[in-house]
Structure formats: C-alpha cells, structure tokens
C-alpha cells in the first residue's frame, strides 16, 4: 500500500471544520442580533460598562499575532527555520497576553458583581442580564478557542524544531494557522458588537 | 498534489501591508464609535468588521490563492449563514 500525501484533501478537511465553527459562532451572533433588536437601550448601557482599552488592546494583539503566524508560514516555505520558530514563539506570547488581559477584564467585572447568576444581574433589568449572559458565553467560547489555537501552534512549533514539519510538508502548521486566523476573524466581530455599541 | 496544490508564498511586505490596513480599520472603527450616526451605527461597525474579515480571509488565510473547491464551499457556508440570519429575523420582526 502506498502512502500518498494529499495536500488538497488535508486543506479541504480543515476548511469544512472551519465552516462548522463559523456556523456555531454565527448562531450566537444571531442570538445577539435578536436581543439587540429587542433591548437596544440596555445593550448600549451594558456596552458602556465594558473597558474599551482592554478590548482595543486585545484586538491589536490578535491582529499582530495573525500577521506573525501568516509570516511564519512564509518563512518556513523560504526554508528559514529559525525565523519560523521565532515568529511562532512571538505569536504564542501574543495569545498569552490576550488571555491575561481577558483574565483582568473578567476579574474586574466579577469584582463589580457582574457575573452569570449574580444578584445584580438577576434582580436587575432583563436586557442587561441578557447582554452580559451573551458576553460571557461568546467571549468565553472565544477564549477557549484561543487556548486551543495556542496548543496547536505550540505543537507546530515543536514539530518545526524537530524537522517533522518541513517546507515540503507544511499541512500541520498551515492548518494550525488557519485555526488561529479564525480566532482572529471571530474577534473582529465580537469587538464592535460588545465594546463599541453606542 | 493537484495543479493548484503548490502552495502560494506570500511576501512579508504584502502581509505587513495587510496588517497595516487592519490596524488602520481598527482605529477607524473605534473613532467612528464615538460619533452618533443614529440608525447607521450598527451597519457602519459591521461594514468595517466585514472589510477586516475579508482581508484576513483573502490574504492571511490564502483564500485569494485557493482553488475553486475551497472558494465555492466557503461562499456556500456564507450563504447558509445569511439564510439562517434572514429567516430568524423574518420570524422575530413579524411575530407580534
């Protein structure tokens, strides 16, 4: 039995998985849209409670990390292994900074009594409760994707170092990169919907 | 490996230019959020986000250089999402 290396098949498989992720987050955004339509004034009020500085900083961190991941694939294809490893390490640091920011952001909200099933949310306006419910579900699920993306990038980094991922055989790094860009893609919509609602 | 199996190599310069555009659009969307455009608040924010998403998809995710199979399957997924959103809104808007 011969083992053929099907580049196109590997890539198509990854994309099909990404479609399921897009539909998953799409469903949550539909939920957001419907409740925004119903409680616009409370969504604006809730949005003002969120820290724009953290939101903007995390947007920039994710965009830069997406760039370094895309560059690491270029670097590998050009046969520059050390640069590839450097760029991937930098991307991992960006992911870590994102999570640390998220930790402080959620921590501050918890401190102010805003967390799922907290007295302030349950006794208060339903519009605010729904806004923060969606905020925790969507940013939480997104955060989980950041962690999975970091694991995939870390595995790719080790595989590049051990010459398992080579310029001739980049699928693992390529697909991990696609996953990381998806994480960025989702945040691009999360940011204006939650932090920038007027 | 098919005819389009050879992986396209994007230059660092091109990727950096895309990053520059993305950061610029981020500044624009933050700036615009301080201006009250009334009804247009949400469409403008979503429009800028969609432009950023398109840039990420085309260049960072190499969609511009992929074969018809990936391009058309992606477009189908987007159409499915659009149908899902539209039908939900028809239901919500005309329920009462």
Which among A22, A34, A74 is the nearest to B15, CB-wise? Answer: A74
Q: Across the interface, do A78 and B4 touch by the CB < 8 Å criterion?
A: no
B34-86 pLDDT, tens digit per residue, is 888 888 888 899 999 999 999 999 999 999 999 999 999 999 999 999 999 88
Q: Across the interface, do B49 and A191 touch by the CB < 8 Å criterion?
A: yes
- Interface test with chain B among A60, A63, A195, by most B beta carbons within 10 Å: A63
Query: CA separation (Å) from A13 to A5, A196, A198, B22?
Result: 14, 35, 40, 28
Asked whether residue B6 carries a pLDDT value surpassing 80, the answer given is: no
pLDDT tier for residue B94 given thresholds of 50, 70 and 90: confident
Q: For B59, phi and psi rounded to 5 degrees? A: -105, -55
Asked whether residue A153 carries a pLDDT value surpassing 60, the answer given is: yes
Rounded to an integer, what distance in angstroms lies between the CA atom of residue B78 and that of residue B74?
Answer: 6
Nearest chain B residue to A40 by CA: give it. B42
- ipTM, two decimals, is 0.91
Asked whether residue A58 carries a pLDDT value surpassing 80, the answer given is: yes
pTM: 0.93
Question: Hey, CA dihedral for A173, A176, A182, A185, is it positive or negative?
Answer: negative
Which among A26, A37, A192 is the nearest to B29, CB-wise? Answer: A192
Q: Which residue is associated with the tokens 């001739």?
A: A168
Rounded to an integer, what distance in angstroms lies between the CA atom of residue A174 and that of residue A95?
Answer: 18
> What is the reported pLDDT for A147?
98
User: Which residues on B lie below 8 Å from A11 (Cβ)?
Assistant: 66, 70
CB of A119 closer than 8 Å to CB of A113: yes
Over its C-alpha atoms, chain A yields an Rg (Å, rounded) of: 19
Rounded to an integer, what distance in angstroms lies between the CA atom of residue A74 and that of residue A173?
Answer: 11
Rounded to an integer, what distance in angstroms lies between the CA atom of residue A180 and that of residue A93?
Answer: 13
Nearest chain B residue to A11 by CA: give it. B70
Question: Hey, CA dihedral for A128, A48, A102, B15, is it positive or negative?
Answer: positive
CB contact A10 to B (< 8 Å): no
Q: Which residue is associated with the tokens 């302030």?
A: A120
Polymer length of chain B = 96
Nearest chain A residue to B58 by CA: give it. A181
Report the interhelical angle of A126-161 vs A171-190 (nearest 10°).
160
């Amino acid at each position: 039995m011969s083992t053929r290396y099907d580049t196109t098949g590997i890539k198509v498989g990854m994309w099909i998985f990404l479609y399921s992720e897009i539909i998953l987050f799409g469903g949550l955004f539909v939920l957001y849209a419907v409740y925004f339509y119903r409680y616009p004034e409370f969504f604006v009020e809730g949005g003002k409670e969120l820290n724009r500085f953290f939101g903007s900083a995390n947007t920039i961190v994710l965009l830069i990390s997406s760039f370094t991941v895309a560059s690491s694939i270029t670097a590998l294809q050009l046969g520059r292994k050390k640069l590839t490893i450097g760029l991937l390490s930098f991307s991992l640091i960006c992911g870590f900074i994102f999570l640390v920011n998220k930790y402080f952001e959620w921590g501050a909200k918890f401190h102010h009594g805003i967390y799922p099933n907290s007295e302030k949310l349950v006794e208060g306006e339903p519009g605010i409760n729904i806004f923060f419910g969606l905020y925790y579900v969507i940013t939480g699920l997104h955060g989980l994707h950041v962690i999975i993306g970091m694991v995939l990038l870390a595995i790719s980094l080790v595989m590049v170092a051990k010459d398992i991922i080579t310029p001739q055989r980049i699928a693992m790094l390529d697909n991990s990169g696609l996953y990381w860009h998806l994480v960025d893609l989702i945040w691009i919509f999360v940011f204006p919907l939650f932090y920038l609602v007027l | 490996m098919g005819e389009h199996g050879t992986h396209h190599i994007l230059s660092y310069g091109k990727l950096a230019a895309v990053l520059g555009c993305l950061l610029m659009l981020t500044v624009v969307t933050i700036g615009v959020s301080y201006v009250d455009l009334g009804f247009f608040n949400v469409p403008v924010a979503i429009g800028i986000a969609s432009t950023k998403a398109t840039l990420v998809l085309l260049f960072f995710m190499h969609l511009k250089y992929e074969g018809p199979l990936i391009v058309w399957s992606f477009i189908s997924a987007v159409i499915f999402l659009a149908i899902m959103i539209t039908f939900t809104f028809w239901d919500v808007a005309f329920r009462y």
